[in-house]
């Protein structure tokens, strides 16, 4: 659209637009109806849509009257980019919202159940999900099991509503950070990023979880809080 407008040097008036549309639709490639039938309605409909699209750009162009021509077109171009970005964001948001229903089918029990599950129960659910081939769901169960184990050793529950990254930041500077980061990164790429979770990813996450669980046992046996010396 912008190259067409730039070709005119200024915003074209309605008569010029009408002539251009009629010229384009008169070409052989645009003979959409059998000979003899009028295409005037098509011209009018296309022109109406074109006028609706151009109207805000015309308004911006006229509003900047008095400025250098290049600057006026730059303002119009920036406005066009902003409009395209906004429309793209709206479409992306709507598509994401419609896909949300599919993800709710895989909601974890810890996200919907009135009572919290134990780490052992979550481990069993993870193994069951992996056996069914739902590997990313299994990884999410392991992450919830990790948080449950850490809550148990800290004797306090984490606040609901925290993101995975917020949970991860709580353990920065501790031996738990690296195995938890593997789980969080896998969830981000394979669940939110909608990439396929392979068997290798599942095995890596299972080893990370076992490492985290083993660290918790060893640290508890030493009687410290697991924080590294700075």
For the segment 24-46, what is each residue's pLDDT rounded down to a tens digit? 766 666 555 555 455 677 788 88
Most confident of 53-62, 150-159, 208-217: 208-217
What is the per-residue DSSP string for 53-122?
HHHHHHHHHHHTTTS-HHHHHHHHHHHHHHHHHHHHHHHHHHHHHHHHHHHHTT--HHHH-SSPPPHHHH
Highest mean pLDDT among 39-53, 106-120, 125-139, 150-164: 125-139
What are the boundaries of each domain within the chain?
2-102, 109-222
How far CA 27 is from CA of 30, 33, 39, 182, 220, in Å, comes to 6, 12, 12, 60, 81
Residue 33's pLDDT is: 54
Q: 65-79, 83-97, 130-144: which range is least confident on average? A: 83-97
Read off the pTM: 0.50
Higher pLDDT, 7 or 184: 184
Please give the Cα distance from 217 to 39 (Å, whole number).
79
pLDDT score, position 228: 42
- The per-residue pLDDT of the chain, averaged, comes to 78
- The two tokens of residue 74 are 């730059």
């Amino acid at each position: 659209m912008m190259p067409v407008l730039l070709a005119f040097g200024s915003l074209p008036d309605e008569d010029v637009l009408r002539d251009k549309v009629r010229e384009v639709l008169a070409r052989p490639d645009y003979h959409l109806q059998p000979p003899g039938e009028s295409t005037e309605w098509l011209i009018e409909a296309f022109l109406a849509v074109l006028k609706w699209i151009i109207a805000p750009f015309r308004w911006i162009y006229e509003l900047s009257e008095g400025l250098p021509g290049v600057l006026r077109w730059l303002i119009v171009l920036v406005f066009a980019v902003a409009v395209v970005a906004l429309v793209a964001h709206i479409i992306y948001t709507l598509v994401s919202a419609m896909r949300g229903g599919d993800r709710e089918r895989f909601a974890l029990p810890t996200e919907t159940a009135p009572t919290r599950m134990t780490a052992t129960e979550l481990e069993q659910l993870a193994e069951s999900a992996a056996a069914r081939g739902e590997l990313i769901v299994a990884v999410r169960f392991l992450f919830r099991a990790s948080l449950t184990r850490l809550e148990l050793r800290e004797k306090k529950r984490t606040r609901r509503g925290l993101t995975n990254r917020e949970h991860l930041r709580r353990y920065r500077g501790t031996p738990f950070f690296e195995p938890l980061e593997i789980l969080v990164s896998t969830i981000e790429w394979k669940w939110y990023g909608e990439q396929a979770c392979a068997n290798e990813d599942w095995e890596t996450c299972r080893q990370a979880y076992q490492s985290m669980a083993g660290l918790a046992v060893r640290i508890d046996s030493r009687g410290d809080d697991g924080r590294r010396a700075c």
